[in-house]
Structure 1
Amino acid sequence: MKFLAVFVLALATATAFDLRSNEIHHLDVEVPVLDGPDGRITNGKTATTGQFPYQVGLSIKKSALSSAWCGGSLIGKNWVLTAAHCTISAKSVTVYLGATVRTSPEVSYNVDASDIIVHTGYNSKTIVDDISLIKIPSVTYSSKIQVVKLPSIASTYSTYTGDNVIASGWGRTSDAVTTVTTNLQWADLVVISNTKCAATYGTASVVASKICCSTPNKVSTCQGDSGGPLVLASSKVQIGLTSFGAEKGCELGYPVAFTRLTSYLNWIKSYTGISY
């Protein structure tokens, strides 16, 4: 397995790892995704059909023998939002839309590297500016395929500290397993302050453009969930995308970190034209 990012600070109590899931296999053989920086929701709940119509699955080819699994969200007819660490150096991506069972989408598209936009500020050591876009052919909306709403562009935003949020993905369901899950999972989480999160990972990784959640009762995002959406439970507005967790494991109570979308709304608009 290859871990994309390892960053240790003297004052940190945990090492931050991106949450993408890697696999090495023959080009023509379908095999389960192994542990790595992506993951699935640990100790979460199984989604019902159409519960998360904005959820996207991504099979990302890095080389002839290397691929990874990540999540994403549909933000427009032609656009998927995900993490930079998922798509950096990608050769091509298979985009799955309308799926609850991971490999049974309503629609899938194959796109190449020219359709991927990685934020130019992305740093693989600190995992800052961990955001990217994938352009896809125009998709037809249905009960299983819908866009997620992004926050409105404004001058000020809530920190969301204390807010109830929902994360979803096909990542690992526990630290004991070694493959991504078949059925889409989701979890209720609560946003914590960046100050509290930085006590674990340090201030170089927990910058203002991150948002963190606590993981009580072994409920967390994990390897395979990278790039997937974090939405407000009250409004289903997407406020984050899964970025990184702790190297030591997903069930040990360490915070998980997400890219804070309010920091990137103008960046998203500049490429997609999408704004609210």
Structure 2
Amino acid sequence: MLRFVVLTVLAALVVAERPEPRYLEEAVEERVVGGEIASPNAWPWQISLQYQSGSMYYHTCGGTLIKPGWVMTAAHCVDSSRTWRVVLGEHDLNANSGREQIKGVSRVYIHPNWNSNNVASGYDIALLRLSSDVVLNSYVKLGLLPPSGQVLPNNNPCYITGWGRTSTGGSLSAQLKQAYLPVVDYSTCSRSDWWGSTVKNTMVCAGGGSLSGCNGDSGGPLNCQVNGQYVVHGVTSFVSSLGCNTQKKPTVFTRVSAYLDHGIG
């Protein structure tokens, strides 16, 4: 059900106020701040995006499996020229459970309006075409996408998931973590004492206190409870340069429903 703006992506085929936003990818070994270790494969659409360095691969970002051959992640995770791979069914980055599937990335589609020099402009979203389709099972499932244009209300329950740092400047979590991050609505998040004009209505804010995203979480899903199901409403984008869990600077996500098209999928 690839309802992302494939129209725009296929066409591509043929500042911000102080404190500055900071992206959450990590170059080498860099977890969700606060929260707890998730049950293994509790978020079966979560993937680990890894890049090759020498003969090794290293986790740098998260992502969401949205079709058997497609992953959604953040544009800033993949706007450099690297050899990428995606690990699905993963829980512990340092251990092989036998549930993992590893796929190469055959093509990267970055939103054509993405500008790495202007965080506040948005468009921090990308699609990865996998080298072959994954096998869907109990440990590898598709993330559910929201209806086009849907905006969740303030305090809607959501969870961020990822292998990012456990604290600002902390170390990487080998095991997938989850943290409860309720939605902060746009009217609140865009207030001058919050994120101000840095945040656009094509973004989702969530959290803003002791729990937050941090380095290594970029590109991963914001999993929100809607009608008894978890729906991927956000792609993890940035936090404040003052720290991952700064008050009134909630984690900011690309709002997935702003980039979906009714006519596809």
Pairwise same-fold verdict (TM > 0.5) = yes
Q: Which amino acid aligns with 2:219?
A: G
Mean Cα deviation higher: 156-165 or 231-240? 156-165
Q: How does 1:1-276 map to 2 (within 5 A)?
A: 7-9=15-17, 12=18, 14-23=19-28, 33-34=29-30, 40-61=31-52, 69-103=60-94, 104=96, 106-112=100-106, 115-127=107-119, 128-136=122-130, 137-153=132-148, 157-177=150-170, 179-198=171-190, 199=192, 200-203=194-197, 205-216=198-209, 218-233=210-225, 234-253=228-247, 254-266=249-261, 275=265
Separation (CA, whole Å) in 1 of partners of 2:37 and 2:57: 28
TM-score (norm 2): 0.83
Per the alignment, do residues 262 and 248 of structure 1 end up closer, same or farther by CA in structure 2, a change over 3 Å counting? same
Separation (CA, whole Å) in 1 of partners of 2:16 and 2:54: 28
Instruction: Judge conservation of contact 1:17–1:246 (CA < 8 Å) in 2.
Output: yes
Separation (CA, whole Å) in 2 of partners of 1:251 and 1:158: 23
Per the alignment, do residues 82 and 238 of structure 1 end up closer, same or farther by CA in structure 2, a change over 3 Å counting? same
How many pairs were matched up?
240
Separation (CA, whole Å) in 2 of partners of 1:102 and 1:160: 34
RMSD between superposed Cα atoms in Å = 2.4
- Deviation string, structure 1 residues 61-103 (Cα, Å, up to 9, x no partner): 5999997600001001000000000011232211010001124
Instruction: Judge conservation of contact 1:79–1:134 (CA < 8 Å) in 2.
Output: yes
Mean Cα deviation higher: 182-191 or 206-215? 206-215
For structure 2, the residue ranges without an aligned partner over 5 or more in a row are 1-14
Per the alignment, do residues 63 and 125 of structure 1 end up closer, same or farther by CA in structure 2, a change over 3 Å counting? farther
Q: CA deviation at 1:251?
A: 3.0
- Deviation string, structure 1 residues 78-133 (Cα, Å, up to 9, x no partner): 00000000011232211010001124361112225xx1100011122332100000
Instruction: Judge conservation of contact 1:61–1:90 (CA < 8 Å) in 2.
Output: no
Separation (CA, whole Å) in 2 of partners of 1:96 and 1:64: 16
Q: Which runs of 4+ in 1 moved over 6 A?
A: 62-68
Percent identical across equivalent pairs? 30
Per the alignment, do residues 68 and 108 of structure 1 end up closer, same or farther by CA in structure 2, a change over 3 Å counting? closer
